Amino acid sequence: MVLVQSYSIAVVMCVITMLCWGSWANTQKLATKEWRFQLFYWDYAIGVLLLALLLAFTLGSTGENGRGFLADLRQADAQWLRSAFLGGVIFNLSNILLVAAIDIAGMAVAFPVGVGLALVLGVITTYLAKPEGNVMMQGLGVAAVAVAIVLDALAYKRLAAQSKSTPVLGMVLSVVAGVLMGFFYSFVAKSMGMMQSAGGVMTLEPGKLSPYTAIVLFSVGLLVSNFLWNTLVMIKPFSGSPVPFGDYFTKGSIKLHWVGILGGIIWNLGMSFSIIASNAAGPSLSYGLGQGATMVGALWGVFIWKEFKGAPPGTNKLLAAMFLFYLVGIGTLVASKL
């Protein structure tokens, strides 16, 4: 399988992760102009698994290092297969709540609050699972991100007051999504084996998973759990009327389906790069830098989708301060591994 051993290359891959994780929700914004987010999400889940399988049978099955995908799958212990699968189940619940929050409050709120909170918890949990990097600097980076979350929440509160709407539901969904999302990555990280050099060839810890196998099991957990989590929000949506299952087949054009699949591919490209880079960058840094997606998503929401248009005077200062604290936090997280 293809491995990344250079720290600089790993950081570049983490930056691509940040861009992918911060941009995939644009496909949701496009698709939900024509149908409900629950229907979009079925195609999203399919796209996630399709990319995972493509990578597993290409990059994950070539080269001298480690084990090929099928060989790795056959030798894996059941507990690590379950761990990666469970990571997908937990993530899927959190991501559906995030998608619902985007639908209600927009990207400029759901990403900084939900994904930002996931960054804080994710860096902590992955560091506890595999301690790497300067813990004090990582703590400072996490603290800066936490301040950015508070600033974004205050900006959204001002916007809601101006429009005479309630911010409660969008904020609650974002917070719950963030708490759940902060724990999924550690299950995936624990399932992957350590790499060791033997005669110039990298070997993989027996019983555990390669990054490519972990991504596939994670993606299977996501798609399988979708029949539970997404079905529930179709029957009992957070807002609006129930979504009929038949609408997926009767109201979706080929273009709409491909938009959803593309969203899943974009997100999982980010996830895959984060997992693959974690061997060289360390899982806590890989996850933390990737969650710079909060800033990217907020940029899309503020400047492209104009989600804070019409906000009262002073809101832009809060948003500017939010972006500043995110930049400081992310930069500190990167420097913590140098």
Cα end-to-end distance, the chain, whole Å: 26
Q: Which residues pair with 204 in a beta bridge?
A: 195
CB neighbours (10 Å) of residue 198?
A: 7
Task: Give residue for tokens 């987010």.
Answer: 37
pTM: 0.88
**Cα separation of 258 and 272, whole Å?**
20
From the centroid of its chain, how far is CA 30?
19
From first to last of its 338 residues, the chain has per-residue pLDDT tens of 888 888 889 888 988 998 999 999 999 999 999 999 999 999 999 999 999 999 999 999 998 888 999 999 999 999 999 999 999 999 999 999 999 999 988 898 888 888 888 878 877 876 776 677 788 998 998 899 889 988 988 898 888 777 655 558 888 999 999 999 888 888 998 999 887 776 667 788 999 999 999 999 999 999 999 999 999 999 999 989 999 999 999 999 999 999 999 999 999 999 999 888 877 877 666 766 776 788 889 899 999 998 888 889 999 999 999 999 988 987 887 777 66
Residue 166 — φ and ψ, nearest 5°?
-100, 130
Domain extents in the chain: 7-335
The pLDDT score that the predictor gives to residue 165 is: 54
**Cα-atom radius of gyration of the chain, to the nearest Å?**
20
3-state secondary structure of 302: helix
3-state secondary structure of 166: coil
